[in-house]
Structure 1
């Protein structure tokens, strides 16, 4: 695409002309987070020939892509983007022989593979040789990471595409991100049963005051190991990654308090991550994965250790489960050595 407007036009065309396509359905979901976006898409779908409806949809898509450049970059990797150069693989049976097999993915053909066998020295290859060569070539392409079909739809966290995931709108989805006993290491049991709700609730305020309607759902659970060690998990979901990022910044400020709490070393996890120490009271890690904000509070015995191994393990666990949920999968990630 030469510029952003061309991508906007292509996206609008997909919504109007191919509303059932996977990309159109994804864009439609994202538009619901844009003020008036859902109504504009519905109006254009009801009357594609209405220029005013199309203009309103174009404006809404333009706002969506301007506010979420990572999503715009993702769309460029789909059929809405420029065609990729054809990928051709050639195999030689002998150094002196000309190429005998061509396997080519042609731009514009969805999932089309062209296999062509050239005669060699006047001989014709048998069907068995043809099949064998095709399998070898396909295996080679897979090993090299070449995708022969349509470009994949949404691989969050891959190829530098930030937060390419669907927002979790249902409290049940947020609760599904929480680990169960089988996902935890041995010795950990549920102390406070999982709770979930919409928007905000007890202990889960609105984090972005001018965008409370963009905070969708929350879920919490607390585990305990022995008499003094506990871990609380909190999941908060948002309509967009941008709002989740603002909530991350706001919550990190709250965690620090008036006197900025000491930072705790934490590996890079998800799209954003940080940890703070509360001294003898323990530590808290914050992680953003796409449209979700995650909090893990580790309190009690050994919770103030400098390397925070338990806190890191729990943060990775919750981040992995949040990513699975946004990928449309049932979260099943566990801590290494867990009961599961």
Structure 2
């Protein structure tokens, strides 16, 4: 999936700086279309009709600055096309989660004394491809969590398939959690943790999942993603 390093294995300001460098600082996305040619826009509309997301639409489905009240965006939203040259995440098309992927995106939020929340999306060339990649993604993703492990119970919108697990990340004593969801042609990941992390309730994880699922559904319908977390 990635380099294999724990996403929350580094703590404090140094760790936050490393994550910002890895994913990029907040780019100020206001939801407007980027400077694209007419041909690129037509291609994007065609892809949207099929439910397949390109790099630009993948980036736009990630939560923008105002989607999580009280949390500060510190990395992204950013996305990359993984169909051509190998990228930071999909360095090999032979990886089960990357073979049929078309785009990858990530956004990172932080809040004092609450830790960090990372939103990740993998966009695939079909819903069948996303379904095939799902078990490989989950095996890799939740393997980083350490005992005690418990399942979180999600309510609300959870897509066609979901898993949610709690635990602790390596070298950390604060609680962490990972949520994985399959929504049409996308796989979505929500990860919480950090040295100063607080436990997110099942209700809060459900709110985050519902928002992310709705934004993916909107993007796959060719709509502008607008779902937010209330309160």
Name the TM-score, length of structure 1 as normaliser.
Answer: 0.46
Matched, 1:317 2:202: no
1:75-110 per-position Cα deviation (integer Å, ceiling 9, x unaligned) = xxxxxxxxxxxxxxxxxxxxxxxxxxxxxxxxxxxx
Matched, 1:288 2:176: no
Aligned partner of 2:56 in structure 1 is 172
Q: 1:204 to 1:283 in 2, by over 3 A?
A: farther
Separation in 2, partners of 1:293, 1:216 = 12
Instruction: Quote the residue 1:74 is aligned against.
Output: none
Alignment-derived partner of residue 223 in structure 1? 109
- 1:192 paired with 2:80, answer no
* Cα separation, 2, equivalents of 1:283 and 1:225: 16
Q: Distance in 2 between matches of 1:29 and 1:315?
A: 24
- The yes-or-no answer on 1:328 pairing with 2:222 is yes
For residue 172 of structure 1, report the CA deviation from its aligned partner.
0.7
User: Is 2:193 aligned against 1:304?
Assistant: no
The reply to whether residue 265 of structure 1 matches residue 160 of structure 2 is no
For the aligned residue pairs, the C-alpha RMSD in angstroms reads 2.9
- How far the C-alpha of 1:226 sits from its partner, in A, is 1.3
Change (3 A) 1:289 1:296: same
Larger strand share, 1 or 2: 2
The reply to whether residue 236 of structure 1 matches residue 122 of structure 2 is: yes
Q: Aligned pairs, how many? A: 174
- Give the SS at the match of 1:192: strand
Q: How big is the shift at 1:237?
A: 0.2
Question: Structure with the greater relative contact order (CA < 8 A, sep ≥ 6): 1 or 2?
Answer: 2
Per-residue CA deviations over 1:142-201 (Å, capped at 9, x if unaligned) read xxxxxxxxxxxx9xxxxxxxxxx5111x2111001001111112x111111322101263
Paired residue for 1:253? 139
Q: Structure 2: where are the runs of 5+ without partners?
A: 1-45, 169-173
Name which of structure 1's ranges 328-337 and 210-219 shifts more when overlaid on structure 2. 210-219
Shift of 1:208: 7.0
Asked if residue 275 in structure 1 is aligned to residue 170 in structure 2, the reply is: no
TM-score (ref. length: structure 2): 0.65
The CA distance in 1 between the partners of 2:95 and 2:111, in whole Å, is: 36
More helix by share: 1
- Distance change >3 Å, CA 246–CA 205, structure 1 → 2: farther
Q: Deviations over 1:267-319 (max 9, x none)?
A: 360111111112334101001100001001112456435x4332221111111
Q: 1:276 to 1:204 in 2, by over 3 A?
A: farther
| Aligned residue number for residue 37 of structure 2 | none
Q: State the distance in 1 between where 2:62 and 2:92 align.
A: 20
